[in-house]
Amino acid sequence: MTLGRRLRRFAVMVAQATPVIIGHWMAIARWRLLRSLAGVTRKIGAVAAFMSLVVITVMLGREWLEVLALVPVLVLTGVTATAFLQRPIGLFLLSFRKWPFDGIAPARETLQLLGLGREQLARISAELAAGREVTLASFDQENRLLSLVGPIPYFKNDLITQDEFIPRYRHRLDVVAAFGVVTIRKAYQTRMSMENEAHAMAALAHVPGVPRIVHLDWRGKVMYQSYLYGENLGRLMAANGATDELQHDLLAERPHRGRWMNPKAQSSVRRDAIEVLRTVIPERCVEEIGELMVRIHRAGVSLGDVKYGNVLLHDGHPVLCDFDWSRVFGPQSLVLLDRRDDERDLFNFLFGGSMPTIASAKRELEQLAIERPALGAATVLFGAGYRFGSRWSQDAGTGRWWRVRPHLPPISGRLIVDLGSHFPIPLIEMLRMGARRLTTYQSDPITQRFLAAYHQLAELIDNRKYDLRIVPQRPTGAGEIGRGADVITAFGAFDGASAEMLAKILPDMWVGVQDIVLHDDVPRPPAGDSTLVRQLKASGFTIERSVVARDSDRTFLLATRG
């Protein structure tokens, strides 16, 4: 076979593999249209790759150039097959997992709380002892219940007759006593919905306030979930004037993300719904729902369906249910962060909440930069590649942070006390480097707000919590300052403290401190040691490094005990 023919066949195989490559690129693209087409393109690419594999292997032999050409095709085919099979195989494996019942009340205890009589309890207990499950009630389309075991006092306001029962359009829901506990049995209309909910609940097994998996039947598309006490918020609002139609209209008229906050975009439907909501739930309850959403998002799960009907209230505290629209991502996935901010915006729209988003945090920073332009220069001063996460970057400025970072002591897991820094980025970065907690003294109100806004932005983009404590005063030398700290820092002008004042403050803080990171207000070396440096040496500290910053006359010091 001539080299020309081999090259032509190589070109044909590359052309056949191209749809796979394009499909994978589309899948990670940020444009929603391309993401919607990615699945179809992947399937076409998988078929093309498989056909090329069969044709080349069977009909053309195994010449070295052809085998070489098969390598990318085989790799892409494997990646595509993995993407297709990951969720079904995951569901199959979850169905064989033994789910712990810790914290789930035994069936008899739950049945007593539901108010069942003695004869009902005896009959149901006998069925359970014989290994049979007992269906207690069925939910209809409007989340009302049809009892199958006689009166259930706990559900007295939601019980209906057989004639009033409206079959559910999608998944069937029953209250069932099985496996020694009371569960919600959910029979799914589609396997995809079951995959969504099973993977989401498995990822949220450690999160309180959501149901737990009791048993999975992947063949029958049935899941048994732990029973959660509570009154459905959607039903409660409908009973107090916000009808089901009004709730649906509210969801349908929601403007694009963020635009509903314009006073001109406010509608009477939303005002009526919020008014009813505030009459049926405690004020603190909305905050608790928001906190529960934060825990879910930080576990890498998007809710997919935020509405009143997915909230249950028990003793004034909320729990969330119905995760068949949820998806599981990596905690820092771009898709997760985008969906999380959309769900937060929808929550604020429906519940009148104030959950922050990346866009709202950036707006706050822009406003603060207008109030004090010098604060806006912080991102420039500490720029040159400074970034939140792996994809947000600002490639401008001096890059001071990257000059400072190599000279810092170990930060991970340590308690840090900052005596005052005009620029928040070094403080936030130390938290992102793994500091267990950082306490900073800031007497200026705008600097406090600026630091809080950057802290909020870092938590949003990294999708995790950072323990930052802002003390609204200057360090005074009191013995409580810095007690228990591992590292003391002071970037900038010590929040107005002079070197002499600092020398008076530090002795009260040195007990237990292992490292001190400071900017010393002295001329450049070799002018000699300052009073502060001499005091550090006299107190048993070794000056590990003395780094001169090119953009100032101040010396960067790292003092280590011993």
Do residues 205 and 325 both lie within one domain?
Answer: no
What confidence score (pLDDT) does residue 157 get?
85
- What is the mean predicted confidence (pLDDT) over 481-504? 64
SS3 424: coil
Is residue 101, in this structure, part of any structural domain at all? Answer: no
Question: Quick check: 55 and 34 in contact, CB under 8 A?
Answer: no
SS3 27: helix
Q: Is the pLDDT of residue 23 over 70?
A: no
Do residues 149 and 47 both lie within one domain?
Answer: no
In sequence order, what E strands does 321-418 have? 327-328, 386-388, 392-394, 415-418
What confidence score (pLDDT) does residue 318 get?
93
- 292 Cβ contact list (under 8 Å, min separation 6): 207, 209, 210, 318, 319, 320
- What is the mean predicted confidence (pLDDT) over 144-170? 91
What confidence score (pLDDT) does residue 45 get?
55
- pLDDT class for 10, splitting at 50, 70, 90? low
Do residues 381 and 351 both lie within one domain?
Answer: no
What confidence score (pLDDT) does residue 143 get?
86
Of 168, 195, 226, which one is at a domain's C-terminal end? Answer: 226
What confidence score (pLDDT) does residue 379 get?
57
The answer to whether the peptide bond before residue 526 is cis (omega within 30 degrees of 0) is: yes
- pLDDT class for 505, splitting at 50, 70, 90? low
- What is the mean predicted confidence (pLDDT) over 479-492? 71
Is residue 99, in this structure, part of any structural domain at all? Answer: no
The listed range with the strongest mean pLDDT (85-89, 104-108, 263-267, 533-537) is 104-108
Is residue 489, in this structure, part of any structural domain at all? Answer: yes
CATH of the domain at 489: 3.40.50.150
Q: Is the pLDDT of residue 41 over 90?
A: no
- pLDDT class for 397, splitting at 50, 70, 90? very low
> Measured between alpha carbons, how far is 407 from 536 in angstroms, rounded to an integer?
18
Do residues 286 and 401 both lie within one domain?
Answer: no
Instruction: Say what percent of the chain tops pLDDT 70.
Output: 69
> Measured between alpha carbons, how far is 57 from 536 in angstroms, rounded to an integer?
74
Helix (H) or strand (E) holding 20: helix 3-28
Do residues 316 and 376 both lie within one domain?
Answer: no
Is residue 251, in this structure, part of any structural domain at all? Answer: yes
Do residues 88 and 116 both lie within one domain?
Answer: no
Q: Which residue has the higher pLDDT, 366 or 207?
A: 207
Cα→Cα distances 121→42, 107, 115, 184, 489, Å? 54, 10, 10, 18, 65
Is residue 100, in this structure, part of any structural domain at all? Answer: no
In sequence order, what E strands does 434-532 have? 437-441, 468-471, 487-490, 515-520
Do residues 42 and 160 both lie within one domain?
Answer: no
Of 226, 245, 262, which one is at a domain's C-terminal end? Answer: 226
Of 355, 384, 408, which one is at a domain's C-terminal end? Answer: 355
What confidence score (pLDDT) does residue 52 get?
58
Is residue 102, in this structure, part of any structural domain at all? Answer: no
What confidence score (pLDDT) does residue 49 get?
56
What confidence score (pLDDT) does residue 409 get?
86
Do residues 239 and 335 both lie within one domain?
Answer: yes
What confidence score (pLDDT) does residue 387 get?
44
Phi, psi of 543 (to 5 degrees): -80, 105
Is residue 48, in this structure, part of any structural domain at all? Answer: yes
Is residue 435, in this structure, part of any structural domain at all? Answer: yes
> Measured between alpha carbons, how far is 234 from 367 in angstroms, rounded to an integer?
37
Q: Is the pLDDT of residue 390 over 60?
A: no
What confidence score (pLDDT) does residue 76 get?
63
Do residues 115 and 61 both lie within one domain?
Answer: no
Domain span holding position 120: 107-226
Do residues 127 and 90 both lie within one domain?
Answer: no
Q: Domain total for the chain?
A: 4
Instruction: Say what percent of the chain tops pLDDT 90.
Output: 34
Tens digit of pLDDT for each residue in 114-140? 999 999 999 999 999 998 999 999 999
Do residues 89 and 168 both lie within one domain?
Answer: no
Do residues 204 and 267 both lie within one domain?
Answer: no
CATH of the domain at 137: 3.30.200
- pLDDT class for 347, splitting at 50, 70, 90? very high
What confidence score (pLDDT) does residue 373 get?
76
Q: Which two tokens stand for residue 253?
A: 């008229």
Tens digit of pLDDT for each residue in 432-463? 889 999 999 888 888 898 889 889 988 998 89
